[in-house]
Amino acid sequence: MINIYKASAGSGKTFTLAREYIKLLLGRKDESGRYHLRKSANGSHRSVLAITFTNKATEEMKIRIIHELAVIAGLEKGWTKTSPYEADLCAAFRCTSEDLKAAAATALRGLLYDFNFFSVSTIDSFFQLILQSFAREAEVSGNYELELDDKGVIGMSVDKLLQDLNHGEQTARTNYLINWLSSYMTHLIEDGRTFNIFNRSSYIHRDLISFINDITDDVFRENESRLMEYFADEKKFDNFKNHIYNII
């Protein structure tokens, strides 16, 4: 079962998610979907994963979870207020406040003594952990670098493409690209503009990277197979290109 919470900024997302984390930490579900208080919540944090968008949200959620567990367990020094989660958790587990207090104390102690397995992380950190764990299966060397900037990757890809066109094996596809780039360079010369696309510091090189970055958005990804099938037909592509030139 998947629970979806729709919320806007400042509406209490961290509050709700922290409560759900504590519920999973202290309780277990039976086959009918009903929660029961664990006899021992020590180590249950190893089976719960929380993922957020930013490092700030990660820290906020960790602090909230630890604080509320301490409040429920009566271990937050100088804190006299009842946790806002207590009533909901007692109702969900159908238990007394004393039972909940004992479970929270056990869970908090186990979490703090085993803090490395307190898994609240960003999406980026989570996928980097997965990649590190399966580096061999993914055929990635141990000294790999994770690049989060799309433009950086696109820039390296453009450099590799131009290098292959200059020094690589000539095929029907590369000849087609060379002809297309030659036509583009001729067009630039006729306009009296800089035409050296192999110069990395030129605005043409930067514009090419920006153009690729702009078109490879979510719309492109959703329609990638259809677009690639269309552009694989050189006649269709030429007709499309000529039609655009005529409009211009």
Per-residue model confidence as pLDDT tens digits over 90-120? 999 999 999 999 999 999 999 999 888 888 9
Contact 88, 19 (CB under 8 A): yes
Among all chains, which residue has been given the structure tokens 């990395």? 200
Range(s) within the chain of domains with CATH label 3.40.50.300: 13-133
Q: Which one has a higher pLDDT value, 119 or 206?
A: 119
| Rounded Cα gap, residues 100 and 85, in angstroms | 11
- Mean pLDDT for the stretch of residues 47-60: 86
3-state DSSP percent of the chain in helix, strand and coil, to 5: 60, 5, 35
Per residue in 82-120, is it b (16+ CB within 10 Å) or e — as a string?
A: ebebbeebbebbebeeeebbbbbbbbbebbeeeeeebeb
| Closest listed residue to residue 48, CA positions, set 129, 134, 111, 123 | 111
List alpha helices for 42-149, DSSP H: 55-73, 86-93, 97-113, 123-133
The CATH classification number of 13-133 equals 3.40.50.300
Q: How confident is the model at residue 72 (pLDDT cuts 50, 70, 90)?
A: very high
Three-class SS of residue 33?
A: coil
Amino acid at 227: L
What pTM value is reported for the model? 0.58
Which is more confidently placed, 209 or 71? 71
Task: State pLDDT tens for residues 14-41.
Answer: 888 889 999 989 988 888 878 888 877 6
**Mean pLDDT of all residues in the chain?**
83
